[in-house]
Structure 1
Amino acid sequence: MELTQLMLHPIRLRIVNSVFDGRPFTTSQLRDRLPDVPKATMYRHVGLLVEHGLIEVEREERKAGAVERTYRLHRSRTVIDDAAAAAMTKEDHRHGFAAGIASIVGEFEVYIGQDDTDPTTDMASYRQVSLWLDDTEKEAFYEDLIAAVRAHLDNGPSPGRKRHLMAMIMFPTKSTHDT
């Protein structure tokens, strides 16, 4: 299975997003983060990610007659690089877009289902805007956005910090004003 096939699945995307900080985790801890994912489904997808080297077993410990595995994500192996993205077909892109949206919907359902959720205080956002950009302006905008995100990618958990999911979707649309 290729990286794009592995990563373009909503459950596997959610698994990778939930452990992207690189800290070790057990399947039980992962199920706490993704409580809506059935246990068998979780084990199957973690197994696929381990089998293909995106997640590694860090250690194994015997607990009450069973073996508990602690895993760690290989962040660098989970990124679909420019060459892999360029090799994707339109159908791959359709599938990837649907998987990404399904992943976001799943994460939002878990978030909004919590008793202490306050979207206003949390500054939850799902706004859409249209930008008129030529290719040079679009590239500059994208680079600015990536630089802003990179400045915070290595932030780890600490008191007062909450993990936030940020998704960026950008594609040209048709307009009555297009020439």
Structure 2
Amino acid sequence: MNHKTMKNLISCFVDPTDSRILMEITARKTATAKELAKALPDIPQASLYRHLGKMVKCGVLKIAEERPVRALVEKVYAMDMDTAQDIPRLLEENRGDVYMSLFAQFSAALMGEFADYAARDDINILKDGSGFSTGPIAVNLEELEDLMLKIGELTAPYRTPEQAAKPGRKMHSLAIIVTPPKEGGEQT
């Protein structure tokens, strides 16, 4: 994913209609315009097609398949990023564009969870145990690896099927994001 396409993707996340379309496609992996229209009935059909066309043209979406349906061809849309990229190869190739694509997909999935929650009638933000925050930490690579292992150890007992089956438990996703270091920061 080049810099221009990444800027287009960020613009799509900011646009409410584009964002909803992207979240729906991310959740489904692929979707036709008909499936999207059914899932997003408040988006007029002409607008839906216009947004899909724009996102294909700017490289955010791709046409994954074309299916003949009677006398027409139905397009199947997907995110235009290689989601099958394996992590060891990503680390070996050290490609920023692939890394950013994976982060965009991660972000879209996370936004989808928040959007689903926000659309419910029965939410209670204070009592449902949802939230997000950010705070700086100053660590070297060894300390960061140690911290991530400790977080993994702390959360391990809560990630079991037995824990989920206990009464009163609700499923949450815990997302931990370690941002890249700031440019010009001390490197040790």
Q: TM-score, normalised by structure 1?
A: 0.51
Relative to its length, the structure with more helix (as a share) is 2
Distance 1:90 1:172, change over 3 A: closer
Matched, 1:107 2:113: yes
Per-residue deviation at 1:80?
Answer: 8.2
Structure label with greater radius of gyration: 2
Cα distance in 2, alignment partners of residues 167 and 142 from structure 1 = 12
What percentage of aligned pairs have identical amino acids? 21
Work out which structure has the larger RCO, using CA pairs closer than 8 Å and 6 or more positions apart in sequence. Answer: 1
Report what 1:162 is aligned to.
Answer: 170
Change (3 A) 1:12 1:159: farther
> 2:27 touches 2:109 (CA, 8 Å); kept in 1?
yes
| Pair 1:148-2:154 in alignment | yes
How many residues in Structure 1 have an aligned counterpart in Structure 2?
114
Partner of 2:182: helix, strand, or coil?
A: coil
Q: CA 1:36 to 1:160, structure 2 compared with 1: closer, same or farther past 3 Å?
A: farther
1:86 to 84, 91, 97: 91
- On the 8 A contact 1:111/1:117 being kept in 2, the answer is yes
Partner in structure 2 of residue 173 of structure 1: 181
Structure 2 residue identity aligned to 1:117 = I
- Supply the distance in 1 between the matched residues of 2:157 and 2:24 (Cα, whole angstroms): 27
Deviation per residue, 1:84-143 (Å, 9 max, x gap): 442462211111111111111111011111111111111211101110001221111111
Instruction: Tell whether the 8 Å contact from 1:36 to 1:110 is kept in structure 2 after alignment.
Output: no
In structure 2, what is the Cα distance between the partners aligned to 1:37 and 1:140? 44
Question: Once the 2 structures are TM-superposed, how far is the Cα of residue 156 of structure 1 from its aligned partner?
Answer: 2.9
1:37-48 correspondence runs (5 A): none
Change (3 A) 1:115 1:81: same
Unaligned runs of 5+ in 1: 1-8, 17-34, 39-78
Aligned twin of 2:63: none
| Displacement after TM superposition at 1:162 (Å) | 0.8
In the alignment, structure 2 segments of 5+ residues that lack a partner are: 1-21, 30-37, 42-83
Structure 2 partner of 1:120 = 126
Distance in 2 between the 1:141 and 1:167 partners? 15
Task: Give the Cα separation in 1 of the matches to 2:150 and 2:126.
Answer: 26
Question: RMSD between aligned alpha carbons?
Answer: 3.4
